[in-house]
Amino acid sequence: MNKTASKKIGPAIPLMIVGVIFFMIGFGVGISGFLTPALRSAFNLTTGQSYLVTAAIFSAFVIFGRPTGWVIKKIGYRRSMMIAFFVMALGMLLFVPSSNAVSFPLFLVALFVGGIGNTLLQGSVNPYITIIGPEETAAVRMSLMGIMNKLAWWIAPVFLGIFIDLQEVKVDDIILPFYIVTAILVVLGIFVYFAPLPEVKAAGEDDEEGVTAESSYAAGKTSVLQFPHLLLGVLALFLYVGIETLPMASIIDFARATFGDVDNLESYAKFVTLGLVAGYLFGVIAIPRFVSQTRALITFAVLGVLSTLLLIYLPPRYAFFALLLASFSNSLMWPAIWPLAIKDLGKFTKAGASMLVMAIVGGAVIPLIFGFIVDAVKTTEQAVVGNYQAAYWIMVPCYVFILYFAISGHKVRTKK
């Protein structure tokens, strides 16, 4: 049973509020996907250097993942969400002096500060949405939150596209939109503080030994590193976040290489969003009614391999749409990997959750490697579509490892 601080508030209002929070998390990722090609044009960066935009945001997860757990334990979920919004607002505000100084390193600092806020927000809101309602419907709630999150991936670049011309990026143009986003984040932080969000605690959270009594596997262990299925799950989540982020971070570049400098390039971001949202809708309808989370993870990992091969080998104008299928494949991996990795941790559950939050840094590493592969294989000054298709090979071993974790890796704790 989950415990809440208040019995008077139904689940609908907190779910709507948390839905807004998930939207803002996606909005931040969407902005980074938009800035990748924009800043490359403004600062004359190589493809690999431009993916430092994504790396700056996600590297905060590996540095502040563990401290996030300590902060939440001290001040609770709701206050942690409030502080997270304020830190994200500070990161957005730092874009203004970065623009005035026309400094790419300062842009990276601003993105890193925003990533710190995003780390705290992810660390507080993901457990919250799991605990706020019955355990058996947690996957449905996560899928609904995923829809809100991924819709923002598309809306963010469309919003910034109102102020920034993708064909001729001017750094000064980003000042006004980032002032607006800063104000929105500050308002949301204040709103969360006063919002009717009950403080919640998971079963056994107040017990010094956590849920050890429910897990004989955890008995006698002295370190969270003694759980091999957790370590494999952390790697699986690391790879998953990387291949989920890569389509969003690269789709505008790939669209430009495929279709040329056409108008409204930012609108191509909707293909990634459509694939993810379709997958989440499938999860809401099918899990666990028709298929288990484990079986869904196996199926979607296989589909991920197939969609990547289509992306690599189809003619460019058709391969582009394989990104939609790849995004569909990615949609259910987060809610499936997380519970398999954290199962039977006992009193080490919180430490394991912190490690899983740190694994989100994969969203920085995989796209960055992708960018440098594009630079390594290109033979002309500007990367062509074939260079991007060659670099997408990085997704295949990621899906294969996730498939291994779904079939066998998460079961190592049960093997003698």
Domains and CATH numbers, the chain: 10-202+211-414 (1.20.1250.20)
Q: What is the pTM of this model?
A: 0.76
- 350 Cβ contact list (under 8 Å, min separation 6): 69, 73, 210
**pLDDT value at 167 more than 80:** no
| Top-confidence residue, 238 or 342 | 238
**pLDDT value at 232 more than 90:** yes
Question: Which CA distances in Å does 140 have to 132, 145, 203, 406?
Answer: 12, 9, 20, 20
Does a cis peptide bond (omega within 30 degrees of 0) precede residue 288? Answer: yes
**pLDDT value at 144 more than 50:** yes
Q: CA-CA distance, 301 to 321, in Å (whole number)? A: 18
Instruction: Flag the least confident range among 196-200, 319-323, 333-337, 406-410.
Output: 196-200
Instruction: Give residue 3's pLDDT band: very low, low, confident or very high (50, 70, 90).
Output: very low
> CB of 332 within 8 A of CB of 293?
yes
SS3 category, 164: coil
Q: If you average pLDDT over residues 2-14, what whole number do you get?
A: 54
251-274 pLDDT per residue, tens: 888 888 888 876 666 677 777 878
pLDDT score, position 136: 61
What is the phi/psi pair of residue 200, to 5°?
A: -125, 155
Nearest Cα to 229, choosing from 1, 31, 94, 414?
Answer: 414
Q: CA-CA distance, 124 to 3, in Å (whole number)? A: 16
pLDDT score, position 209: 46
Q: CA-CA distance, 327 to 332, in Å (whole number)? A: 10
pLDDT score, position 212: 40
